[in-house]
């Protein structure tokens, strides 16, 4: 069997407060999902021919956006791949299939489940930042508090810095130490909330939020100052802006129940912003037209097969994933304490039993697919 891992550089969510600058689309050379899948189909087919393994079964794997590609690849190229494992793949995060506020509601719930005080501190910090950052002297003091390498020009830069830390920490709330996004301890959300809860009563809310967020950016303690504006792109997410402006349009809002400032979604504003950055307009319904998504349980039950959708509910992207079995061979494996494609991370001696069991189930299911495939080939 050929096990093919489909990887793509883009995942995550673009920053909500603006002030980002992107290269124009014509200098990037990014592929749409349709182009990427077609290229993978050609590559896999050629590889099988070169290996003299034309009849070898192929199972594709992917996590996050790669997981979306893996599941779509199985549906669009069933003659190339006989199965797919799609981890943390939010294929239902489009149109009105999933509530638009679900992503940030999930991030908020992660923190709230650890400490109501932690949740409340983060919820309170945004207005304080806006108020203190409304003039130059306030920005200077905030820059000192945040240990900025240079005095910040916009309070939104500080908000983005905090927002990114809290959002990505929720995504990668792994049960063991990891360095996927940043070097982080086990259960980093819990550790952030411990930091906030350790402050004495009456301590400054900004200082609490900054110190907690520093766990994300500086757990190793080697950062002397932080680039708040004009820094590099450590996670390689710059291209996601272009993708989100073409086909990967995932409407997101922030509800009043969230720990983030409430916000809505406007297609018109999105479109104008995309045109200003890339001279393109987003196609709101492209993904669901190309790959489906609406009434997915009824649709895939009729014609789909051999797909595992794995999700961890600590990961906010799980809300846009397939969380229930669709058929006997389109299976949802859900872990309550799992995070962003945790099942794809290297095994460690400290992995909880539920992670070990999830991986065992995945291997068992895939073995079953391959065995059945080989039986079918033998009878041809």
* 110, 340, 341, 351: the active-site residue: 340
Distance from the Cα of residue 321 to its chain's centroid: 11
Distance CA 351, CA 119 (A): 27
Q: Which phi and psi angles does 250 have, rounded to 5°?
A: -115, 95
185 class by beta-carbon count within 10 Å (0-12 exposed, 13-18 middle, 19+ buried): middle
- CB of 217 within 8 A of CB of 165? yes
* 105, 110, 173, 315: the active-site residue: 315
**Using alpha carbons only, what angle is made at residue 188 by residues 186 and 194, rounded to the nearest 5 degrees?**
115
Burial 261-278 (b: 16+ CB within 10 A, else e): beeeeeeeebbebbeebb
Element at 308 (helix H, strand E): strand 307-312
Q: How many other CB atoms sit within 10 Å of the CB of residue 204?
A: 13
Element at 367 (helix H, strand E): helix 353-378
Closest CA to 5 of 374, 365, 341: 341
* 64, 87, 88, 101: the active-site residue: 64
**173 belongs to the catalytic site:** no
3-state DSSP percent of the chain in helix, strand and coil, to 5: 50, 10, 45
**310 belongs to the catalytic site:** no
Distance CA 45, CA 77 (A): 11
363 class by beta-carbon count within 10 Å (0-12 exposed, 13-18 middle, 19+ buried): exposed
**318 belongs to the catalytic site:** no
Catalytically active residues are: 64, 315, 340
């Amino acid at each position: 069997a050929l096990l093919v891992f489909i990887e793509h550089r883009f995942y995550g969510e673009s920053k909500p407060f603006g002030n980002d600058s992107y290269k124009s689309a014509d200098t990037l050379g990014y592929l749409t999902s349709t182009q990427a899948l077609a290229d993978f189909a050609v590559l896999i087919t050629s590889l099988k021919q070169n290996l003299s393994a034309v009849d070898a079964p192929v199972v594709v794997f992917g996590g996050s956006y790669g997981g979306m590609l893996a599941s779509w690849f199985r549906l669009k190229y069933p003659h190339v791949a006989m199965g797919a494992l799609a981890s943390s793949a939010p294929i239902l995060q489009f149109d009105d299939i999933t509530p638009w506020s679900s992503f940030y509601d999930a991030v908020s719930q992660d923190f709230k489940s650890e400490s109501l005080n932690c949740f409340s501190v983060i919820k309170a910090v945004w207005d304080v930042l806006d108020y203190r950052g409304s003039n130059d002297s306030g920005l200077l003091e905030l820059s000192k508090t945040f240990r900025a390498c240079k005095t910040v020009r916009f309070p939104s830069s500080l908000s983005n810095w905090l927002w990114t830390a809290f959002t990505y920490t929720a995504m990668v709330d792994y049960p063991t130490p990891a360095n996927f996004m940043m070097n982080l301890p086990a259960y980093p959300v819990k550790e952030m909330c411990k930091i906030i809860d350790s402050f004495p009563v009456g301590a400054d809310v900004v200082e609490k939020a900054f110190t907690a967020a520093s766990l994300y950016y500086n757990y190793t303690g080697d950062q002397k100052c932080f680039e708040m504006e004009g820094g590099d792109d450590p996670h390689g997410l710059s291209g996601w802006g272009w993708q989100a402006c073409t086909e990967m349009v995932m409407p997101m809002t922030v509800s009043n129940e969230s720990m983030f400032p409430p916000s809505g979604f406007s297609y018109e504003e999105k479109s104008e912003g995309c045109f200003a950055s890339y001279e393109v307009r987003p196609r709101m319904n492209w993904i669901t037209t190309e790959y489906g998504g609406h009434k997915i349980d009824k649709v895939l039950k009729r014609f789909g097969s051999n797909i595992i959708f794995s999700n961890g509910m600590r990961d906010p992207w799980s809300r846009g994933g397939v969380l229930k079995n669709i058929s006997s061979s389109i299976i949802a494996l859900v872990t309550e304490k799992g995070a962003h494609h945790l099942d794809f991370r290297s095994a460690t001696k400290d992995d909880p039993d539920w992670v070990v069991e999830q991986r065992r189930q995945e291997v068992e299911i895939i073995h079953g697919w391959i065995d059945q495939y080989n039986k079918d080939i033998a009878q041809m």
